[in-house]
Amino acid sequence: MKKILITGGAGFIGSHVVRHFVNKYPEYEIYNLDKLTYAGNLENLKDIENKSNYHFIKADIVDSDKMFEIFEKYCFDGVLHLAAESHVDRSILDPMAFIYTNVVGTVNLLNAARKIWEDDLEDKVFYHISTDEVYGSLGETGYFTEETPYRPNSPYSASKASSDHFVRAYYKTYNLPVKITNCSNNFGPYQFPEKLIPLIINNIKHNKPLPIYGKGLNIRDWLFVEDHVKAIDLVFHKGKRGETYNIGGSNEWTNIDLVRKICKIMDKKLNREEPAENLITFVKDRAGHDLRYAIDSSKIQNELGWKPEHSFEEALEKTIDWYLKSEEWLENVTSGNYQKYYELQYSKR
Ligand code: NAD
Ligand code: TYD
């Protein structure tokens, strides 16, 4: 019986990872450790919360004593580390929260794993889930490879870059069995509506302006979350220790084209007279806004046989349908503090 710790399992990607591991590997005991910040929501896991191999631990990874205590109590065999502050705009408003959770929190987990695994590193895995944003920004051509130098531009990406460096350093210095992946922008059900795709869907639903930063010409490479989860499963089980793998959708969109596409799909579904595109509003650009992200994922494709399986059109439509039917979920996550954040972020733009 293997004991697997998944941090940040109540968040967007984490909840998909937890669900996948709980359902696919009944022989594993899955421990979801999450602080339940604004972005963590146990409603994301309602369908699996009663499974006998699923366990929830509410804790903050910044609390080093607690991390030692938990690792000593459960003696995990593997760690999938997803807990993070994850939103660039919030990192511009308050960088310190990102340094605590993303840097200090990650190092606390590394120290706890190192301590309980010191006598036996056989079959152990510390897998750190990271972002392509650590590489900085591309111009109109080129791709991020695993060899691209780190040049993070936002407090979020700087904190993730720092955590990646610590993970790699613990491999080199202490031989901790680590793996790292750097993935492009995810989308899908359960994503908090501060990120572009769910924010636009939610605003169209409520007939609110659709804020586009700058001219809307920044480019992101979008990947359906379930394709990311398949890659995570492969790397966790078959990836090489000490290695980094880039994961991406080969699916580049300018923000404005993507938003127009969502508008068209939702016009059909909502059957409204006024086209949603009329809600598009160009607003002040994000500070330090990276122009383009694009991933060369040939390493994970060639070495581990991964490729994205979902077509973008179908996955986007599936995502929109999920948000349209998940009225109560949206209502719950956008009440209270979300309104305050929205006001702070968008009222003066
Ligand atoms: P999210 O913001 O939806 O969820 C983060 C989760 O971490 C939440 O459940 C939150 O409660 C938890 N958390 C935050 N601080 C914590 C703390 N101090 N202690 C314990 N738990 C804490 O994030 P996401 O979009 O699901 O991203 C998950 C991971 O994947 C992050 O590490 C992120 O950097 C990485 N990533 C995200 C994307 C993306 O497009 N969303 C792309 C590539 C990589
Ligand atoms: P986001 O979903 O925040 O992801 P990231 O910044 O990590 O790539 O943003 C995706 C793109 O959409 C990014 O170029 C910023 C832009 N954007 C807007 O134009 N308007 C918005 O309201 C948001 C949240 C993002």
User: Model confidence at 26, in pLDDT bands (50, 70, 90)?
Assistant: very high
pLDDT at position 259 over 90: yes
206 CB-contact burial (10 Å; exposed 0-12 / middle 13-18 / buried 19+) = exposed
Domain residue ranges of the chain, discontinuous segments joined by +: 3-191+222-250+291-311+338-346
- CA atoms of 26 and 17, how far apart (whole Å): 14
Helix axes of 155-174 and 106-117: crossing angle, nearest 10 degrees: 20
Phi, psi of 314 (to 5 degrees): -65, -40
Q: Which residue has the higher pLDDT, 261 or 340?
A: 261
Residue located nearest, by CA, to atom 29 of ligand 1: 82
Question: Is pLDDT of 202 > 90?
Answer: yes
Atom of ligand 1 nearest to the CA of 81: 32
Whether pLDDT at 119 is above 80? no
Higher-confidence position of 122 and 29: 29
Q: Using a 6 Å CB cutoff, which residues line ligand 1?
A: 8, 10-14, 34-37, 39-40, 60-62, 82-86, 101, 105, 129-131, 160, 183, 185-186, 192
Taking 70 as the threshold, does the pLDDT of residue 1 lie above it?
Answer: no
Ligand 1 atom, smallest distance to 61 CA: 19
Look up the CATH architecture of domain 3-191+222-250+291-311+338-346.
Answer: 3-Layer(aba) Sandwich (3.40)
Catalytic residue among 133, 221, 227, 290: 133
Residue 118 CB burial class (10 angstroms; 0-12, 13-18, ≥19):
exposed
- Whether 27 sits among the annotated catalytic residues: the reply is no
Residue 340 pLDDT: 87
pLDDT(191) > 90: yes
pLDDT at 348: 83
Give the pLDDT score at 221. Answer: 98
Task: Determine the distance from the C-alpha atom of residue 113 to the mean position of all C-alpha atoms in its chain, rounded to a whole number.
Answer: 22
- pLDDT tens digits, one per residue of 50-73: 999 999 999 999 999 999 999 999
Give the pLDDT mean for 236-260: 98
Query: Any residues with Cβ below 6 Å from ligand 2, and which?
Result: 88, 185, 195-196, 199, 211-213, 218, 220, 255, 286
Other C-beta atoms closer than 10 Å to the C-beta of 203 total 20
* Burial zone of 18 (CB within 10 Å; 0-12 exposed, 13-18 middle, 19+ buried): buried
